[in-house]
């Protein structure tokens, strides 16, 4: 019974933890401009993140090692460093975007300019990392993030024509007035939002922190295989809401305040309250994860002590990196750069950086020297190879498409 509850809570946490500022912005934007015609990308992204998270979780449970520890061993000091720098730039941009997202969400409730909240939010993010036990932290924000389920409720209340929705989703076509490059540019953005690399750094390092062993793998798989797809459905519901409300009105989504509007229209003030709580929880939770991920990755690459499971003074350099990353992230947002724009760039660059960590994990997951009996199955490898190809194409196409479409204009 207790085990069942644990699984249940784990799945809920994974759903609530799936959505972050990138998913919110990308899905809302895409829903308003492309309707359901890009919903398939979320599906492809969810399968990808399930595959990647399962592999890295298994590697972490069997070897007790974090991602960048292995990346450096497999790629060597030079290629590993390049990899680390690229991945950390993306994670840092994401961290900044999440910090901005929390502040913007609080602005929605208070109508006080978000910039005033940024220092406070940064402090709180650091403080939670400093004081709150790992498991409580993950669970609290994951569960609060479930408030975003109100998007699904709103979508249902807005009363879509289910038949035409299914038709649109299953017969994707570029809508009138949009070019093919723009369509593919947003496909990549949506894909990058669903498959952000920090999720994997956090997930595998978290597995090491919580001391997973092979026995925990079953629970891990259930969490991933149920939680992420349901989180993906939530993403599609966000796109669905903006599709129904904004597309007919010719509205393009440029602000977080707009993302909440369909829910207000469909579910009123209570719905809006849920949305704001969900925004705060999802972005705050992701800020914690990205902040920790910078520390995890750098410490693992350099062979330092890391993690929340030891006293901070015993992992002083790790905590110093986390602190510096949060301060710099807050400073980036305080330059008054638009956090939504930072988000859009962070998800596209995520797509660019994905193969850098995916490939070494795929190789290590096949290495009996590390994995023993727990190497990839043939099915996992078949899927893994297909995604390696896909990620490579996406990574190579992202920047040219960004330039060609002037970042999706």
Partner 1 sequence: MRRGVALLLALLTASCVSPSRTDRDYELKAGNSAKAVASSVATALLGVEAARRHRAPGPYLSVLIASAEEDASSVQSQFDSVQPPSAHADAQRAELDDLLSQAVDGLALLRITVRRGELDQLDTKARPLRAVLVRLRTLSEEWQ
Partner 2 sequence: MRGSDVIGLPVLGRGGRVLGKVLDVRLVQDGPLRGAYAALRVDALVVGRHTVAAHLGYDRARVNGPWLVNAVVNALTRGNGLLPWDEAEIADGVVRCERDALDPVPPI
Partner 3 sequence: MMAGRVLDLALHLLDRQIIDTDGNPVGNVDDVEIDESGYVEALLVGPQAVAGRLGGRLGEWLAFWTRVLQGGTEPTRIPVDLLTDLGSHITVARSRTELGAHRNEDRAREYLIGRIPGGRREGE
CA 54 remoteness from chain centre = 15
Residue 147 and residue 347: Cα distance in Å, rounded?
Answer: 23
Q: Does 337 bind partner 1 (CB under 8 A)?
A: yes
H, E, C per residue of 91-102: HHHHHHHHHHHH
Q: Which is nearer to partner 1, 314 or 406 (CB)?
A: 406
d(CA 193, CA 30): 12
Query: Is 107 one of the binding residues for partner 1 (CB under 8 A)?
Result: yes
Q: Which is nearer to partner 3, 325 or 347 (CB)?
A: 325
Q: Note the residues at the interface with partner 3 (CB under 8 A).
A: 63, 65, 69, 72-73, 76-78, 80-81, 130-131, 133-135, 302-314, 316-317, 319-320, 323, 369-370
- Asked if 164 is part of the footprint of partner 2 (rule: CB under 8 A), the reply reads no
124 part of the interface to partner 2, by CB under 8 A: no
User: Rounded to an integer, what distance in angstroms lies between the CA atom of residue 200 and that of residue 323?
Assistant: 21
Residue with tokens 């699984």: 7
Distances 322 to 14, 97, 121, 269, 385 between C-alpha atoms, Å = 23, 16, 15, 37, 34
**SS3 label, residue 250:** coil
Q: List the one residue from 39, 61, 93, 187 that touches partner 1 (CB under 8 A).
A: 93
Site track for partner 1 across 165-184, x = CB under 8 A: ------------x-------
Using the rule CB under 8 A, is 120 a contact of partner 1? no
316 binds, among partner 2, partner 1, partner 3, none (CB under 5 to 8 A by kind): partner 3
Among 252, 309, 377, 386, binds partner 1 (CB under 8 A): 252
String of contacts with partner 1 for each residue 302-331, x by CB under 8 A: --------------------------x--x
Provide the minimum distance between the beta carbon of 281 and partner 1 in the complex, in angstroms, as a whole number.
18
Q: Are 395 and 354 in contact (CB under 8 A)?
A: yes
175, containing H or E segment: none
């Amino acid at each position: 019974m207790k085990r069942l509850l644990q699984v249940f809570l784990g799945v809920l946490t994974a759903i609530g933890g799936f959505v972050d500022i990138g998913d919110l912005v990308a899905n809302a934007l895409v829903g308003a401009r492309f309707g359901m015609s890009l919903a398939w990308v979320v599906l492809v992204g969810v399968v990808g993140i399930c595959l990647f998270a399962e592999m890295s979780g298994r590697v972490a449970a069997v070897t007790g090692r974090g991602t960048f520890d292995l990346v450096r061993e497999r790629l060597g000091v030079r290629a590993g460093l390049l990899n680390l720098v690229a991945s950390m730039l993306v994670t840092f941009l994401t961290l900044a975007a999440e910090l901005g997202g929390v502040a913007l969400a609080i602005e929605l409730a208070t109508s006080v300019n978000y910039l005033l909240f940024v220092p406070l939010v940064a402090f709180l993010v650091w403080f939670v990392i400093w004081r709150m036990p790992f498991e409580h932290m993950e669970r609290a924000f994951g569960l609060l993030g479930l408030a975003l389920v109100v998007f699904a409720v709103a979508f249902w209340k807005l009363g879509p024509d289910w038949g035409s929705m299914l038709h649109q989703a299953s017969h994707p076509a570029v809508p009138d007035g949009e070019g093919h490059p723009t369509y593919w540019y947003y496909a990549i953005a949506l894909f990058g939002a669903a498959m952000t690399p920090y999720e994997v750094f956090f997930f595998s390092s978290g597995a090491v922190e919580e001391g997973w062993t092979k026995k925990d793998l079953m629970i891990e798989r259930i969490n991933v295989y149920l939680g992420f797809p349901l989180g993906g459905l939530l993403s599609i519901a966000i796109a669905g809401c903006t599709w129904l409300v904004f597309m007919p009105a010719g509205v393009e989504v440029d602000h977080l305040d707009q993302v909440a509007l369909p829910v207000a229209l469909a579910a009123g003030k209570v719905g809006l309250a849920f949305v704001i709580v969900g925004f705060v929880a999802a972005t705050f939770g992701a800020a914690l994860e990205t902040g920790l991920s910078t520390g995890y990755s750098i410490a693992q690459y350099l062979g330092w002590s890391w993690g929340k499971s030891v006293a901070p003074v015993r992992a002083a350099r790790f905590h110093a990196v986390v602190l510096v990353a949060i301060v710099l992230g807050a400073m980036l947002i305080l330059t008054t750069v638009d956090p939504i724009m930072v988000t859009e760039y962070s998800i596209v660059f995520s797509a660019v950086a994905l193969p850098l960590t995916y490939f070494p994990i795929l190789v290590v997951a096949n290495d009996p020297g590390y994995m023993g009996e727990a190497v990839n199955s043939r099915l996992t490898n078949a899927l893994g190879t297909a995604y390696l190809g896909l990620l490579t194409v996406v990574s190579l196409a992202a920047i040219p498409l960004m330039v060609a479409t002037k970042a999706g204009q």
